[in-house]
Amino acid sequence: MLDVKYLEDGSNCNTPMYAENPEKYLGSIACHGCDKKAWYVRSYETIRAKRSACFAAHHIEGCNYKTETLEVEQGDDSEEGGADAPDFYVDLDKSKGSGIYVSTPANKHADKVDKRDRKKIVAGGDSGFSVNKTLRQILTMLCKRNAEVPLEKEIMIVADSGRPVIDGSFKDVLFHFSEMGNIELPENAIFWGEINHTIIREENTFLNSGGKKDATIIVPPYLHDDLIRNFKLQSLDELHGADVIIVGHGYKPEGLDKFFIHATFTKYMSFRKYKVTQESEEQAIQA
């Protein structure tokens, strides 16, 4: 798209207007046709390819304003959690970066974590369950199936000490960003949604899902380099439009009509990034 709607007053915004005053439009633009939130995509030109500046959005199917194609980057989205899959057991501390393996608990966790007769994942052999299920696969399941997610299924996430960080069914511990203002949240939960844009202020990195009242993930300064390195980012712009899943504490500061999620470790996060391609690249390269 080369034009979007400015949500504050319904006026039109094109790519030169956005490039001239990005602070005005951040998180406040949407597709003229389907009203899905949009984000700005910078232009680039290399020896092999070029792309004009444009806007992108996760359009509703059949939207006539869609002129861009979104292609999921990196990772295999072929493995999804099925309705017959056993309960998830995710040990965050047996992983590196965004790869969070699903496995049976280590012996040191047995007394601390699980005193009930809970069915756990047995990886490999005749179990029929792959050992490489990760938060990324859970996110893929959520994005592809959405309303069909098996909410009765249970997930357990444990810290290195054996302390359960998450322990419960999806319906009790899993929340989309849009749900955060309507219900009482547990101490820790799994949150997911879309990142609209990113900002760095006062050394903190903010992963924003939209405008002033939409949920924001705060990445503190000590995690910034880990975020770039572990997720192989050349720029934070690569996270614009990405799906994200994060384990953490959601809270609403007093006096603010907005929820925040504080990132503590990058291994508690995973992303589903998109490559944006304009269906027609005949436009002159803009800002």
Instruction: Give the CA-trace dihedral at 230, 231, 237, 239, to 10 degrees.
Output: -130
Residues 110-126 have pLDDT tens digits of: 344 443 434 432 222 23
For range 252-258, the mean pLDDT: 87
For range 263-282, the mean pLDDT: 81
Which residue matches tokens 């934070």?
A: 236
Global confidence as pTM: 0.79
Residues 216-239 have pLDDT tens digits of: 999 999 999 999 998 999 999 999
> What does DSSP say about strands 250-251 and 243-248: parallel, antiparallel, or unpaired?
unpaired
Residues 2-40 have pLDDT tens digits of: 999 999 999 999 999 999 999 999 999 999 999 999 999
**pLDDT band per the 50, 70, 90 thresholds, residue 204:** very high
**pLDDT band per the 50, 70, 90 thresholds, residue 183:** confident
Q: Tell me the C-alpha distance between 20 and 75, whole Å.
A: 35
Residue 170 carries which DSSP code? H
**pLDDT band per the 50, 70, 90 thresholds, residue 86:** low
Q: Tell me the C-alpha distance between 43 and 56, whole Å.
A: 12
Residue 184 carries which DSSP code? P
**pLDDT band per the 50, 70, 90 thresholds, residue 95:** very low
Q: How would DSSP label each residue in 57-125?
A: E-PPTT-TT--EEEEE-SS-TT----TT---EEEEGGG-BTTB--B-PPPGGGHHHH--S-------ST
